[in-house]
Structure formats: C-alpha cells, structure tokens
Chain A
Amino acid sequence: MNPNEFDVIIIGGGITGAGTQRDCAMRGLRTLLVERSDIATGATGRNHGLLHSGARYAVNDAESARECIKENMILRRIAAHCIDETDGLFITLPEDDLGYQQTFVEACQAAGINAEIIDPELAKRLEPSVNPELIGAVKVPDGSVDPFRLCAANMLDAKLHGGQVRLYTEVTGIIREGDTVKGIHTRSRQTGEEADYYAPVIVNACGVWGQSIAEMAGVKVSMYPAKGALLIFAHRVNNVVINRCRKPSNADILVPGDTVCIIGTTSTRIPIEECYNVAVTPDEVTLLITEGAKLAPSLSSTRILRAYAGVRPLVSADNDPTGRNISRGIVCLDHEERDGLKGFVTITGGKLMTYRLMAEMATDVVCRKLGVDKPCETATTPLPGSEERSYEAVAQKIWEAPSTAQKAAASRMGTSASRIRGNNPYDDALICECEEVSVGEINSAIDRLEVSTLTDLRRRTRIGMGTCQGEFCACRAASLLAKAHGCVEKEREDLAHFLNERWKGNFPIGWGDTLREAEYTQWVYKHVLGL
C-alpha cells in the first residue's frame, strides 16, 4: 500500500481537527492530520479555557446552551486531567438589572443546566474574591479546561489508534479530479520538503483559516473573524469562575486556570488577512482591567502576566455575504450536498467546549461517505491520561510520597504521569521552577507529543507559562531539546524566538513587576548568556 494514502485527511491541528482525527481513528480509519504550525495555535489555544456550563448562551441561543451542558458533563468523564471542576457564579452588580436573573435561571433550566440562585453572602463565602457589592448570584456547573492538554491528548490517542500527524506542514493545494477531491499538496515549513497525500475524504477543520482551504478546493465558506483579547494574571485570584448575570458583553468572565486566572474577552471584527497576527491594543487592556475589577476588585492590583488575543471562527450563514447573520453554533458542511464537490467536508464554528460533538458530526459524515458503519465511542472512552478522575489519586498511586513537582505533573498529565522517568537526581531536577516541571516530564513530552520547538514544549508542559515567563526554564529546556534533536545551532535560534514570543505577550502590559521581570530576563540572556 502507498504510505501516502489514507482513508481520511484532516487539515488543521486545533481541537476540532485533533478531535476529528481521534474519532476517525477510533472508528478504524487510516488517518492523517496536517497542520501548518503546532497543535492548538489558533483559536484552540487562544481563549479563556472556560468549561462552559452553557449558561452564558441559555437566554439567546438555547441550542448552544444544550450542546454545552451535554458536552460539559461528557468532558468531565473523558478528559478529567484537562478539567478543573470549579463551578461558576453569575453575579448581579448594583448597576445590573436583577430582573434578568429570573429570565436567566429559567432559560438555564429549560436547557438542562442546573442553575441555582444563591444568597450573595453564600457566594462571597464560595468565592472570597468576588465583588462584595453583588446583589444577586446564581451557581452553575462551569469549570475550566486546559485546551493545550486536551488537544495533545486527542492527538496522542489518534496516534495510539494508528493515526499519523504532520505538524509544521502547510497545505499548498487540494488535488481535484473533476468534481472529486483526491488529496493534498503539502510543504514542510521546517525542511521545505514537498509531499502529496491522498484520501477519498478530506476534512477542512482549519477554523477561521478554513476559508482559504475551501478556496483551494474551489468552494466558498465565508468566515467572520472576530478578535477577542484576554489578560492572564500571575496567580489564581478566584477558584470559582465568575461571570456577569446580564446579556453577554465585554470582559465579563474571569476563569481560574491552572496556576493563573484569565479575564476576557472583547469582540472586534477583523479582516481575514490579519488573523495570523493579532495584537492586543492599549484600549483593550484598559477595558479588560476596568471591567475585570468589577468581577473581582483585587484584580486591579494583581500582577498581569500577559495579554493575548484569539480569533473566533464564526461563520457567515449561507447566502449571506454581508456576514450579519452570524452563528456561534456548529457548522458541518458536506460540500457534495452543498456544492457538488465530492469527498470534501468542512467542520467549523462551534466552540472548544463542543469540539467532541463537532468531531462526531464530521466523522459521521466521513463514515457515511466511506460506507463505514461504526458507532462513535468518544463520549464514553477516556482520553489517555484521564483514566482517573482526581490528580491526588493519580499521584498517590504512582508515588508513595509525591514531591510538589510530582503532584504538579499528575495534575498536568493525569495517569500518563506514570511514564515520567524519575527518582534520580537528574530526571527529578526542575526545568521550570514556577510550574514545577521536571527533566523527566519534559523528556516524556518530547518522546510522545511531537515537539519541535520550545513553544511546542510550552503548550504541552506549561514551561514558560509561569511568573518568570521563560527566564529560567527556557535555556534549560533548550538544552534538552538540543540533545533530543541533535542540533545546538537550531536550538539557539529557537531559544531567541521563544523569548521574543514571550515578550510579545508581556509588551501590552509591560509595566510594574512584569516590566522589571522582563528587563531582568533580558539582562540574563543578553549580558550573562550572550544571546
């Protein structure tokens, strides 16, 4: 058999693509995933990481709300190591209309979301950082989800089911024969090598960039890119998600995620050409801090770590070139039915939260086209690492007396932490001191999770995501990567690139302690290490 032939090719290594590949692979298909950059570099890795209960959509979009709560409950079971079951609050402030609360709770209940009005005093006890002026509070089953971990676990499981993954591989063309797609032309962005891959079905899972892939195939999908800016704070101010109980607006969700918390978002339409390089503006930063402090006043005096922005892959509904009729829901297009193009499927829209459902929908279409009749099992089969629900149980099972780094590893990797080499001074040494990541954990990621660069490593292990933003871990991790890849010169470039990328996120909020830290980092790398 030709090694470049597959049953299905998935374009896009975001959560939708990774989830689709996993589903296809679990149904026995030979799969290939190609991604022009690393996994989770688009909208997947550039959002709140909110495990929506669906409450935010309940009033305006009942269908999304129902999808969210259903997937919310599924992800708690299948992706335990990516999820923090924090619960969420929808608070009403004196400037908000308390009347909205009733509408909100009724809509939640209609969608199957367990929303419970609680005494504001109780809300303050549940979440001491909440604005004490609140006049109303509703408790909902929100949570937080680590999108990088979720994406990596999906990719890993697809690989364990025989799937192949080509990262840093750009699709340069779609091979068409008449009204049928046959394959793709690709070029490696690392080596420049060109290759063609063939499959009877191609899934376009490129989010906002799906528009250009569709164009290559000769069909039209109109995306409506909406930029959202967010800020990361240096530690967890809150342990419960805090939302505003009002019509969804700017900067009204504060999500605790791992060791940090994140306020967002804004929403601005941007031209599609700008999607590759979105920057956060000073006005957005001001807005996020001002509005964020209304949720939790202590935010205004908490150190900000980074600012970043993502692009929502919203889709303009068919026959609506103006883009006014926008859906936040899932869009699954069988281009054979829609445009008469055989073997081409686009899966887009939707949310991080509903990736599994999107993958299921796309895989159902793929299977129908291939005449495969196997049920979807992704709703019940845990992802690798999620076989155990709590990280305490995981750590206790693997280590008799887990160290802080081992506990932290268990919280990041779940049961996969058992693969970390350790219990010797070399492997137990810390690479990242802020997040407690050991040599063993880094090497385990390099071995299993398709790591080319330090930034890839960051997405898989959290190095460089702590307070020091790479000041200490970057050069240490670079030495491990240089060893793994056998090239020091390339790694030196990678290190410089990584530090510049960290600075990009510091720049919009570059004052106070963050600026001091960045200057110190510069001093260490430029003047001490001579980079």
Chain B
Amino acid sequence: MKLQEYTVSKHNFEECMKCTVCTAYCPVLQVNPLYPGPKQAGPDGERLRLKDPYFFNYALKYCLNCKRCEVACPSGVNVADLIQAARIKYDHSKPKLRDTILASTDFMGTVARPVAPIVNGVTKLGITKSAMDALLRIDRQRTFPSYSPRSFESWLKRRDKEQAVFQEQVAYFHGCYVNYNYPQLGKDLVKVLNALGVGVQLLEKEKCCGIAMITNGMSEQASKNARHNMAALRKAVVDKGLRVVTTSSSCTLTMREEYPNLLGVDNADVKDSLLMATRFIFEKLEKGATLKFKAGFHKKIAYHVPCHMEKMGWGVFSEKLLRMIPGVEFTLLDSACCGIAGTYGFKKENYAASQAIGAALFDQIKTVNPDVVACDCETCKWQIEMSTGYTVMNPISILAEAIEIE
C-alpha cells in the first residue's frame, strides 16, 4: 500500500493550516467582536460541531457570506461554505417575518410592481421608514430600491420577434432586480448584445436565485428555487445549446457555486455555460467582434469589484471592458467589501457594522471623486449610492451609453 495515497482529505476543512489569513481578511471581524471569525466559525468550529451539534454557535449569523475568506485561503478551504452549511444544518430557528420579507424578492416584486408608484412613494415616507424600523427592525436610514411599473420580462417578451432575427442567441438570467426594480439594465444589455449581433431570449421561467433565502434561514425554499432554475437553465443550455448571461454577480455565484456546495443541487452540466455578461462580451471582442463607440464620450469611472465577483475571479473582465471605452478615465478601487451583503445591511442590528465595513471604500470613492462608480452588483450599488451620494452603474449600462448604434 502506498501511504501517499492518503494525502488528500475528502473533508475540505481538514486542509486548513490555521494560518489565519482568512481571519485577517474578514470584514466582519474587524467591526463586530461578537463574530468568532472565519477560522473559528469554519474549520475549527466544524470539528466541535461534528462532536456534538450543541457546539453550534449562533453568532455564525453575523457572517456576510462575502467569501473573502475563501479568496484569501491559500489551502483552498471553502470557509464561507462551511459556515453557511453549518447554519443550514444546525440553526433551526424560524426566520423572522422581517427576514422572510427581505428574502422574498420574487414575491415582493410580483406584489409591488402593479402598484409601483404607490409602493415607491410609501417606502420613501419618513413615517413608513419609522414604522419598518420599529416593527420590523429594518433600519430607517436605508433606502428601498424603487419598483418599476413594468417588468423586464414583459418588455423583452414583446420584442421576441426582433430578437429572434439574430443568428447568434444567448439566454439572459435577469434576476429579481432587473425584472422588478430596474429593467433599464436589462434593456442596456440587450442594446449591447444586439450591437454585437447577438439576440437575447428569456429562460423559460426563472425564479429568484435564492441567495437571500440561504442567508436568511430559508434553505428549503432556496433549494426549491434552485431545482426550478436548474431545470430552466438545462433547457437553455443542454436542449438549445445556448449560453446564459447574467448582470448580477451574486445571482451568478449562487447558481454556479452555492447550488452544488450548499443546497446539494448539481449543476455540473450547466455551470460552464453560465457567465457574467461582461465576460461573454469581453470574449467576443477578443475573438474579433467590434463595437463602435461614440466620439467625444468622456467619463471618470471608479470600478468597485463586488466580493462575489472577486470570488469568481471575474472582476478583470469588467475592468478590461471599461478600460476599452475611449474617453474613460479608469480607477480600480481597492479590494474591499462595501458592507451591505444583500439583505444583511438592511437589518437594524447590522446597520452600524455594515457602514463601518464600507467606510474605507466610501472614503476612497470620495477621494477619487469619479463621475460614476461602476459595479456589477445591485446591493453594492444601493449601499454606495446611499453612503456616498455618487451614482453607481453596472458596467453594461456604461457600455450601452458609450456605444454608437447605427
């Protein structure tokens, strides 16, 4: 027998060398002493939990799931996965009403959209914010994203014939934000892709990727959505041979990595075909496709790489695209978490930590003083806009603004 065969442990957490780099990179630990930190909460805690679930620590709920620990880990340990998996396995407390509301982006969007002007007006009222703060513990300082009266889905459906004329096709997983809150981003993507000669179609029927459900203790609902989305993705990828593009880094990470790692939903046959639109476009341009840019376009852009984009290692594609635009003055912001982490920062108990985590980033943005901040994540956008007053745009929207359509 070769003893060396016994080198690699199947138990990923055993590969932890206790080097503690993850702890140094954890944004939460620096502002919240109640959080045990990724090493304690992840690989160290796992051994104790395996002895007895009694050792599960409820302070694990302070984890942002930003995955910065995983990016930092030199041993390839899925630290954040360990933490989220432990929460799914051992935390059986029912999600609060507030958490359910925050996590049900699909449901809230469906309900709010038809009466969008009313909802938008009401959520901006001081009295509503006070009520939500007092009753639901959603921090009053937060601004809720406004709802769009018309969904992106219905907009694109009415254009399916004009999209079908393009020989090359992609499917688009738009996500809740584009569908209910900001269809303009979807429209911008269609504009750019059409300019590259690519037609855009919807998936048969997509649901919320489930990321907010995972972090709010609704893993069963998240698994349901995951299975649904995998079926829809499979139809596009396996049956129709399409690639699927996205404009939200967190939805993408969830479907590519959280589905198999946390929810046990296999995605091996689809994963490679699911990618951020910026990567898809960059690769097309690399292969010789061209975009015509407006003359005299000028913008000073500071690009913030969202944590989940860093985890995928794809920030570079958005960066390269933005740098490619003539007239762009580009600054890459320092790698940092903005602190919002989806629904995390909306919770009253996390508000202070959330703002403290983002403080360095906000300061840097103010120093750079750009015309616009670029970012691939909608919740980072809300956080940065609220905290700095600067406008934040998805790189796709900036691209759409910069190109010339004949």
Q: Among the listed stretches A135-143, A273-281, A285-293, A452-460, which one makes contact with chain B, having 4 or more residues with CB under 8 Å of it?
A: A285-293
Cβ A403 vs Cβ B57 within 8 A: yes
Contacts of B123 in A (CB 8 A): none
1/0 contact string of A404-422 vs chain B (CB within 8 Å): 1001100100000000000
Check A302 for interface membership: any CB of B closer than 8 A: yes
Cβ B50 vs Cβ A236 within 8 A: yes
Cβ B39 vs Cβ A433 within 8 A: yes
Alpha-carbon gap, A18 to B283, bound state (A): 73
Contacts of A504 in B (CB 8 A): none
Cβ B6 vs Cβ A301 within 8 A: yes
A517 touches which of B4, B17, B40 (Cβ 8 Å)? B17
Cβ A513 vs Cβ B1 within 8 A: no
Contacts of A301 in B (CB 8 A): 6, 8-11
Given contacts A433-B44, A467-B14, contact A259 B51 (CB under 8 A): yes
Check A441 for interface membership: any CB of B closer than 8 A: no
B17 touches which of A259, A392, A403, A520 (Cβ 8 Å)? A520
Check A146 for interface membership: any CB of B closer than 8 A: no
B6 touches which of A256, A433, A511 (Cβ 8 Å)? A511
Cβ B17 vs Cβ A404 within 8 A: no
B48 touches which of A234, A259, A471 (Cβ 8 Å)? A259
Within residues 476 to 529 of chain A, which ones have a CB less than 8 A from any CB in chain B? 511-513, 516-517, 520
Check A436 for interface membership: any CB of B closer than 8 A: yes
Given contacts A285-B3, A404-B55, A517-B17, contact A235 B47 (CB under 8 A): yes
Shortest Cβ distance from A404 into B: residue: B57
Check B88 for interface membership: any CB of A closer than 8 A: no
Cβ B51 vs Cβ A258 within 8 A: yes
Check B111 for interface membership: any CB of A closer than 8 A: no
Cβ B55 vs Cβ A303 within 8 A: no
A286 touches which of B3, B39, B52 (Cβ 8 Å)? B3
Cβ B3 vs Cβ A434 within 8 A: no
Cβ A467 vs Cβ B4 within 8 A: no
1/0 contact string of A182-196 vs chain B (CB within 8 Å): 000000000000000
Within residues 1 to 46 of chain B, which ones have a CB less than 8 A from any CB in chain A? 1, 3-11, 13-19, 36, 39-40, 43-46
Nearest Cβ distance between residue B136 and chain A, in whole angstroms?
24
Contacts of A258 in B (CB 8 A): 51
Interface size on B, residues (CB 8 A): 33
Alpha-carbon gap, A300 to B10, bound state (A): 10
Nearest Cβ distance between residue B41 and chain A, in whole angstroms?
9
Nearest Cβ distance between residue A526 and chain B, in whole angstroms?
16
Cβ B47 vs Cβ A408 within 8 A: no
Cβ B48 vs Cβ A472 within 8 A: no
Shortest Cβ distance from A520 into B: residue: B17
Cβ A511 vs Cβ B3 within 8 A: yes
Within residues 49 to 91 of chain B, which ones have a CB less than 8 A from any CB in chain A? 50-52, 54-55, 57, 75
Cβ B44 vs Cβ A303 within 8 A: no
Alpha-carbon gap, A381 to B75, bound state (A): 49
Contacts of B44 in A (CB 8 A): 433-434, 436, 466-467
Alpha-carbon gap, A303 to B11, bound state (A): 8
Cβ A436 vs Cβ B6 within 8 A: no
Contacts of B48 in A (CB 8 A): 259, 404, 408, 436
Alpha-carbon gap, A403 to B46, bound state (A): 15
Given contacts A235-B11, A235-B14, A404-B55, contact A512 B47 (CB under 8 A): no
1/0 contact string of A426-466 vs chain B (CB within 8 Å): 00001001101000000000000000000000000000001
Nearest Cβ distance between residue B243 and chain A, in whole angstroms?
36
Cβ A520 vs Cβ B9 within 8 A: no
Cβ A404 vs Cβ B36 within 8 A: yes
Nearest Cβ distance between residue A472 and chain B, in whole angstroms?
6
Cβ B15 vs Cβ A433 within 8 A: no
Check A103 for interface membership: any CB of B closer than 8 A: no
Given contacts A404-B48, A407-B55, contact A472 B14 (CB under 8 A): no
Cβ B18 vs Cβ A471 within 8 A: yes
Contacts of B39 in A (CB 8 A): 433
Alpha-carbon gap, A467 to B39, bound state (A): 12
Contacts of A407 in B (CB 8 A): 54-55
Contacts of A466 in B (CB 8 A): 44, 47
Cβ A434 vs Cβ B54 within 8 A: no
Contacts of B13 in A (CB 8 A): 235
Check A383 for interface membership: any CB of B closer than 8 A: no
Within residues 322 to 373 of chain B, which ones have a CB less than 8 A from any CB in chain A? none
Check A208 for interface membership: any CB of B closer than 8 A: no
Alpha-carbon gap, A13 to B228, bound state (A): 64
Within residues 368 to 422 of chain A, which ones have a CB less than 8 A from any CB in chain B? 391-392, 403-404, 407-408, 411
Contacts of B54 in A (CB 8 A): 391-392, 407
Alpha-carbon gap, A468 to B19, bound state (A): 10
Alpha-carbon gap, A302 to B17, bound state (A): 15
Alpha-carbon gap, A302 to B14, bound state (A): 8
Cβ B10 vs Cβ A513 within 8 A: no
Which of A392, A513, A516 has the most CB atoms of chain B within a 10 A radius of its CB? A513
Alpha-carbon gap, A434 to B14, bound state (A): 12
Cβ A303 vs Cβ B14 within 8 A: yes
Contacts of A256 in B (CB 8 A): 51
Nearest Cβ distance between residue A38 and chain B, in whole angstroms?
26
Cβ B17 vs Cβ A286 within 8 A: no
Alpha-carbon gap, A256 to B48, bound state (A): 12
Check A60 for interface membership: any CB of B closer than 8 A: no
Nearest Cβ distance between residue A396 and chain B, in whole angstroms?
10
Shortest Cβ distance from B36 into A: residue: A404
Check A304 for interface membership: any CB of B closer than 8 A: yes
Contacts of A268 in B (CB 8 A): none
Check A298 for interface membership: any CB of B closer than 8 A: yes
Given contacts A235-B50, A407-B55, contact A289 B14 (CB under 8 A): no
Alpha-carbon gap, A130 to B363, bound state (A): 56
Within residues 203 to 262 of chain B, which ones have a CB less than 8 A from any CB in chain A? none
Nearest Cβ distance between residue B216 and chain A, in whole angstroms?
22
B47 touches which of A391, A403, A467, A520 (Cβ 8 Å)? A467
Cβ B47 vs Cβ A289 within 8 A: no
Nearest Cβ distance between residue A464 and chain B, in whole angstroms?
12
Contacts of A302 in B (CB 8 A): 9-11, 14
Contacts of B19 in A (CB 8 A): 520
Which of A256, A404, A511 has the most CB atoms of chain B within a 10 A radius of its CB? A404
Cβ B55 vs Cβ A408 within 8 A: yes
Nearest Cβ distance between residue B10 and chain A, in whole angstroms?
5
Nearest Cβ distance between residue A479 and chain B, in whole angstroms?
18
Alpha-carbon gap, A303 to B15, bound state (A): 8
Nearest Cβ distance between residue A344 and chain B, in whole angstroms?
44
Cβ A511 vs Cβ B4 within 8 A: yes
Alpha-carbon gap, A259 to B50, bound state (A): 8
Cβ A472 vs Cβ B4 within 8 A: no
A434 touches which of B4, B6, B7, B18 (Cβ 8 Å)? B18
Beyond contacts A512-B6, A513-B9: 15 other A-B pairs, Cβ-Cβ < 8 A, are A234-B14, A235-B13, A259-B51, A301-B6, A301-B11, A302-B9, A302-B10, A404-B40, A404-B48, A408-B55, A511-B3, A511-B6, A512-B7, A513-B17, A517-B17
List B residues at the A interface (Cβ < 8 Å): 1, 3-11, 13-19, 36, 39-40, 43-48, 50-52, 54-55, 57, 75
